[in-house]
Structure 1
Amino acid sequence: MRRRRATALPLQCPPSVAPLSVAPLSVALLLAPLLVTGCTGEPAGALDLKVGGSFGARPTIVFPDGKPAAGLQVDELAAGKGERLATDDVAIVQYTAHVWDGRDNRLVDSSFNRGTPAAFPVGELLPGLERALRGRRVGSRVIAAIPPEDGFGANPPQGIGTKEELFYVVDILGAHHKGVSVKAAGGTIAGVRVGGGAWPALAVPATPPPARFTAKVLAKGNGRKTQAGQLVVTQYEGALWSRRRVFDATWTTGRPKAFKLGDGSVIKAWDKALVGVPVGSRVLMVVPPAYGYGPGGHPAYGIKGSDTLVFVVDVIAAY
């Protein structure tokens, strides 16, 4: 969960954990990237340009003279062999986005500039991006030229004109489906109980909360340990101790959310409890205000500055 920039929610995080901090332009473009698989110096088929670099690495792009042809144009430079992306999946991608104007073709966003891949919620992307991305396989590199009518339309983010065409190169690193879960056993900590199974519902006792931060790995996964600076894909549920009320849960919709760990993007509790945990683990934590949103709380989620929070988190993947 992200902090709101000191205490903000994640783009796809529980309200109790602060979401990753992403500049407005990055957030907007996050919902407008395209697929691409690794190719070096290969012409882009129907698109008269060249994209170089290996899959997963920052691409080099040589634009032709003049403006692109009208209409949405998509080309798959290399086809992956992994799972296909479907609506409600979360795609983990590396991407680069330019304005293709036939002049400087300026770079406007890139996951490489933030040091971690990005998470794209399939089904909530720009129209052109949806058409380019859905159905592609993990391991693919796709490029797309997106005209304004298939992009941001009349309301683009700051830095992009209403008539400017976008060009994306996207490498699909992973796909995480709706309903994915660790499906581990339940457990208890400080009187808080968590049921087992795919949706580990929280039960908070009607007693005063403990003053200290506490975390427990209820089930230890078999994957690699997470590291600070990684993008971690999670399912989670968060509750307010004082009112014993759930304020956010990815399991409600089934779609996982991803957050960057170890750089202050999420609340202190998540960095402390989730860094170094093997992928596939389920973690339960009790979070006093100093490890959550602090004195300001998080009004949008009904969190007061004095509220102790409780989280159960499934660590699905790390990139």
Structure 2
Amino acid sequence: MRLLLLLVPLALLTACTGAPAADDLDLKVGGRFGHKPSIVFPAGKPSADLQIDELTAGKGARLAKDDVAIVQYTAHVWDGRENRLVDSSFNRGTPAAFPVGQLLPGLDKALQGRAVGSRVIASIPPAEGFGANPPQGISPDDDLFYVIDILGSHARNAHASGSGSLAGVRVSGPERPRLSIPSGPAPDAFAAKVLKRGDGPRTEAGQLLVTQHEGAVWGSRKIFDSTWKSGQPKAFTIGEGSVIKAWDRALVGVPTGSRVLMIVPPSAGYGATGHPQFGITGADTLVFVVDVLAAY
């Protein structure tokens, strides 16, 4: 990883985005790519224009619309007084997934076309920010400042592969899998099978997993969730209870690049309450096929 200078002033490196170049505002960002940055804000508020700079130029794949960018980032409200921190994946210890093309307008402009391995900074005025309905702790009139390290990129058509069967359920297809669920009652017990073992490092509890996946209800065979249909991989923290029990059990310790098939009774899924948003009742057994693309 390339080292930054201890203090780096806002530079003039915005040609990739077409956004206005930054003036010299004496704002300084220090630290190495992939490590929590130090930030020295100048006196006063920022310019009313969107300002974007690239402090470290990566050499990896370039981000495109509908990619999922895996990033470490820090975000401040830039008010010229406290310039308070409002969010930081560095503090949480786990990277975040940014769906390119669905972010704040200013962030989308800052990231599209940037290469993996880049550190990007963005001063985002209200017009390019959250708009009239910002999250708690942020005002519609707040200027924002982001430092973003781009760790990885995953395209909408990324996939593992593998065919096979488990408890009568069959999976076929080299790219988007085709699920065939038998008639008759669902099994009572949870079961999981790695249909194709990847050659990447094994996943660990607490990591952010990037997946393509599809879920179906056993009885109706209805597909209730599919990243292949929505057009973008999704990322989840694994092994810490933030996903259903079945995923924590089946996906921790699996090599990245694997395709995993699961049979999930309610006790290992959404429990007695089900998931009404997906049309899942508390009695439904589910079937998942999950491609484990990467772990961070």
1:215 aligns with 2:192: yes
Q: CA deviation at 1:253?
A: 3.2
CA distance in 1 between counterparts of 2:189 and 2:44 reads 62
1:276 aligns with 2:253: yes
Match of 1:153 in 2: 131
Match of 1:199 in 2: 176
- Match of 2:43, as an amino acid? D
CA distance in 1 between counterparts of 2:246 and 2:41 reads 45
Paired residues of 2:264 and 2:287 also in contact (CA < 8 A): yes
Larger RCO: 1 or 2 (CA < 8 Å, sep 6+): 1
Q: CA deviation at 1:254?
A: 3.2
Aligned residue-pair number: 282
Matches within 5 A, 1:1-319: 39=4, 40-45=6-11, 46=23, 47-182=25-160, 184-319=161-296
Kindly provide the CA deviation profile for residues 267-291 of structure 1, in whole angstroms up to 9, marking residues without a partner as x. 0000000000000100000000010
CA distance in 1 between counterparts of 2:294 and 2:3 reads 22
Q: CA deviation at 1:242?
A: 1.3
CA distance in 2 between counterparts of 1:214 and 1:38 reads 47
Q: CA deviation at 1:94?
A: 0.2
Deviating beyond 4 angstroms after TM superposition, the runs of 4 or more aligned structure 1 residues are: none
Kindly provide the CA deviation profile for residues 81-101 of structure 1, in whole angstroms up to 9, marking residues without a partner as x. 111100010000000000000
TM-score by length of structure 1 reads: 0.86
Q: SS at the partner of 2:189?
A: coil
- Match of 2:79, as an amino acid? D
Q: SS at the partner of 2:198?
A: coil
Q: CA deviation at 1:223?
A: 0.3
Paired residues of 1:180 and 1:254 also in contact (CA < 8 A): no
CA distance in 1 between counterparts of 2:213 and 2:114 reads 27
Gaps of 5+ in 1: 1-36
Q: SS at the partner of 2:55?
A: strand
Q: CA deviation at 1:38?
A: 5.8
- Match of 2:272, as an amino acid? P
Q: How much is the aligned-residue C-alpha RMSD, in angstroms?
A: 1.1
Q: SS at the partner of 1:67?
A: coil
Which protein shows a greater Rg? 2
CA distance in 2 between counterparts of 1:275 and 1:41 reads 39
- Residues 38 and 207 (structure 1 numbering): CA distance in 2 closer, same or farther, change over 3 Å? farther
Kindly provide the CA deviation profile for residues 212-254 of structure 1, in whole angstroms up to 9, marking residues without a partner as x. 1000000000000000000000001100001111111111133
Kindly provide the CA deviation profile for residues 91-124 of structure 1, in whole angstroms up to 9, marking residues without a partner as x. 0000000000010100000112322100011111
Paired residues of 1:216 and 1:285 also in contact (CA < 8 A): yes
Paired residues of 2:121 and 2:147 also in contact (CA < 8 A): yes
- Match of 2:7, as an amino acid? G
CA distance in 2 between counterparts of 1:117 and 1:88 reads 18
TM-score by length of structure 2 reads: 0.93
- Match of 2:48, as an amino acid? A
- Match of 1:165, as an amino acid? D
Paired residues of 1:38 and 1:141 also in contact (CA < 8 A): no
Kindly provide the CA deviation profile for residues 145-192 of structure 1, in whole angstroms up to 9, marking residues without a partner as x. 00000101222211111211000000000000111111x221000010
